[in-house]
Amino acid sequence: MPSSWVHKARELTLEERLIVERWLGRSLGEEETLSLNVYSPHPAPSEPERQALRQQIISQARQIGSRAPELGEEEADALLEEALREIRRQPS
């Protein structure tokens, strides 16, 4: 049995659309795509696993950061602010 489902809003039956809109608390746009994934929860990682994951993330961030050594902190902050403004402008 499938554990994921993807459909365009315009493909939903009226009943399905009403249910989804009730769950979301808003109307759906005709061109919006819906996806549903079903999965069983898993236990949280142990403390050693969390620390290993943290170190992996830090290592990846340093690797990415090393690709732009000439980028100063102020310029990086300005780029982040610009990205956040752009995200906020986009309709939900």
- How do the domains of the chain map onto residue ranges? 4-37
Q: Which residue has the tokens 């090393």?
A: 66
Of residues 43, 36, 41, 2, the one with CA closest to residue 19: 36
- What are the structure tokens assigned to 81, written together? 């602010």
pLDDT tens track for 46-75: 999 999 999 999 899 888 878 777 777 788
Instruction: Give pTM, 2 decimals.
Output: 0.43
Residues in the chain, total: 92
pLDDT tens track for 11-49: 999 999 999 999 999 999 999 999 999 988 889 999 999
Element (DSSP H or E) covering residue 36: strand 33-37
- What are the structure tokens assigned to 60, written together? 């990846």
